[in-house]
Amino acid sequence: MKIENSNEIKLWDLSDSNVYIKIKSSIREELFSYLTKTNNGFRGLSKKVDVTFGYLFKLKKGFYFTSLILLNKLLDICPEKKKKEFMMKIENNIEEIKLGSRSLSIKNPKLPIKFSSILARIAGHLCGDGGIRKDYIVYYTNSSSELLSQFERDIKETLGEVKSGGFYNTIIKDVRTVTFPGIIGFFLTRLFGRQVGDLKHIPKLILDSDKFSKSLFLNALFDDEGNVSTTAYTISIKMANKGIIEKVKEILKEFEIKSGKISKTHDKHKTRYKFYISGKMNLIRFKEEINFSHLEKREKLSFLTQKYQRYKFEEIKNLAINILKNNKDVTISELARKLNRKPSMRFKEHLFKLEKEGVITSNIHNRLKFYNISNKVK
């Protein structure tokens, strides 16, 4: 089976697989009426496809799902023009589709399935706390009810009406897992490749997608693997998969978000890789372009970006007052060095604001600007 990188999945792309469908009654009746009429009834038809006529009769009545392999055999009997006509009608009139004859199905599947930004968000969760098992069962684990519900809604919105395997508790307190049947994982694997254990990766479809799709992918991944520190003023992400971490850094550059170097850590005998995002503009860009759906992380980032500028200014104000009380005629470079800062444009803006507020004064001598404490503060 060819997997990954197809941005559209059509029914007939699955013909060589273990996929079963139930066709809507009107088209099913039309198909079998034509086949029996042109092939000497059910007995003649059964000989051509090597299936009992009783089984074919029950397929016509809708008692069973039809495998795509058998359906193709039936269609191959038709003249080419008639075959194409039935193929189109069948793809547009599927009641249910499933992987294997005994698994759960998708009702009213949204075929053809086309890559979308919502599917990009699903891919982010598959790379994060979710995945696709070898039997194609899809799972997603999280402590956030909002994220679990969002994942379920996204699956149904993009693929069709499907029952989940339900939510069940894990060995970790307050953490739950939701699962979906193999047909879901089968479709997602064709879009995104294998997503389990060491095989997890950022799909090529994501790397080649538009910025909005990439933002939803990152939103989901940071929801699962990211963290916001309101004391260190940072966003961080940590994963065991170094390849994903490296690609995430590259994608962030497209949003003009700079991140720190990747460092290696060891958690419970497992090597993990992490990096930080810091600095006012990087945090603001992250909030505007990507943000979090995880409620607590979203609120932390909002608090952080609102507080960031005020805290930094107040911090510099207090330190500058203490230094200038004991030092006269201090240059920008000297003041920045004493404050353990760089004489950046942002730093100069803070000093300008302090002058405007009357906290400090300045004078120019030999083209150098010198700062002193204001008489008001003294």
Encode the chain (378 residues) as per-residue pLDDT tens digits.
445 557 899 999 988 789 999 999 999 999 999 999 999 999 999 999 999 999 999 999 999 999 999 999 999 999 999 999 999 999 999 999 999 988 999 999 999 999 999 999 999 999 999 999 999 999 999 999 999 999 999 999 999 999 988 788 888 888 999 999 999 999 999 999 999 999 999 999 999 999 999 999 999 999 999 999 988 889 999 999 999 999 999 999 999 999 999 999 987 778 999 999 998 889 999 999 999 999 999 999 998 888 665 546 777 788 888 888 888 999 988 888 887 677 777 778 888 888 988 999 999 988 889 999 998 776
Last residue within a domain, chosen from 268, 293, 318: 293
If asked whether residues 70 and 114 sit together in one domain, one would say no
Which string of DSSP letters, residue by residue, matches 84-145? HHHHHHHHT-EEEEEESSSS-EEES--SSEE--HHHHHHHHHHHTTEEE-TT--EEEEES-H
Whether the ω angle into residue 112 lies within 30 degrees of 0, i.e. cis, is yes
If asked whether residues 145 and 10 sit together in one domain, one would say yes
- Would 317 be classed as within a structural domain? yes
- Collapse the DSSP code of 257 into the 3-class scheme (helix H, G, I; strand E, B; otherwise coil) and give the result: coil
Question: Residue 67 region, left (φ>0) first, then alpha (ψ -120 to 50), else beta?
Answer: beta
Please give the residue range of the domain that contains residue 165: 1-14+95-203
Phi then psi for 63, rounded to 5 degrees? -75, -30
- Collapse the DSSP code of 68 into the 3-class scheme (helix H, G, I; strand E, B; otherwise coil) and give the result: helix
If asked whether residues 63 and 157 sit together in one domain, one would say no
If asked whether residues 1 and 140 sit together in one domain, one would say yes
**Residue 352 has which token pair?**
């300008």
Q: Are 32 and 59 in contact (CB under 8 A)?
A: yes
Question: Chain centroid to CA 279: how far?
Answer: 25
Which of 151, 140, 243 shows the shortest CA–CA distance to 199?
243
If asked whether residues 244 and 284 sit together in one domain, one would say yes
If asked whether residues 36 and 146 sit together in one domain, one would say no
Query: What is the sign of the dihedral through the CA atoms of 30, 34, 37 and 43?
Result: negative
Q: How far apart are CA 378 and CA 368, in angstroms?
A: 24
**Residue 68 has which token pair?**
């795509």
Quote the pLDDT of residue 89. Answer: 96
Q: Which residues pair with 264 in a beta bridge?
A: 273
If asked whether residues 133 and 44 sit together in one domain, one would say no
DSSP alpha helix (H) spans, the chain: 25-38, 41-49, 53-60, 68-76, 80-91, 117-127, 145-159, 182-192, 204-207, 211-225, 242-254, 280-289, 295-326, 332-338, 345-356
Query: What is the sign of the dihedral through the CA atoms of 173, 157, 250 and 234?
Result: negative
If asked whether residues 86 and 99 sit together in one domain, one would say no
Neighbours of 309 (CB within 10 A): 13
If asked whether residues 227 and 256 sit together in one domain, one would say yes
If asked whether residues 85 and 174 sit together in one domain, one would say no
CATH classification of the domain holding 165: 3.10.28.10
- Would 209 be classed as within a structural domain? no
Quote the pLDDT of residue 1. Answer: 45
If asked whether residues 236 and 361 sit together in one domain, one would say no
Q: How far apart are CA 24 and CA 91, in angstroms?
A: 10
- Would 20 be classed as within a structural domain? no
* DSSP assigned state of 353: H
- For residue 234, give the H/E element and its range: strand 234-239
Last residue within a domain, chosen from 92, 114, 146: 92
- Would 163 be classed as within a structural domain? yes
- Would 298 be classed as within a structural domain? no
Neighbours of 73 (CB within 10 A): 14
pTM: 0.81
- Would 344 be classed as within a structural domain? yes
- Would 300 be classed as within a structural domain? no
Question: Residue 339 region, left (φ>0) first, then alpha (ψ -120 to 50), else beta?
Answer: alpha
Last residue within a domain, chosen from 74, 92, 110: 92
- Collapse the DSSP code of 2 into the 3-class scheme (helix H, G, I; strand E, B; otherwise coil) and give the result: coil
Q: How far apart are CA 239 and CA 257, in angstroms?
A: 19
CATH classification of the domain holding 326: 1.10.10.10
- Would 52 be classed as within a structural domain? yes
CA angle 226, 153, 101 (to 5 degrees): 115
Quote the pLDDT of residue 318. Answer: 84
If asked whether residues 128 and 197 sit together in one domain, one would say yes
Number of structural domains found in the chain:
4
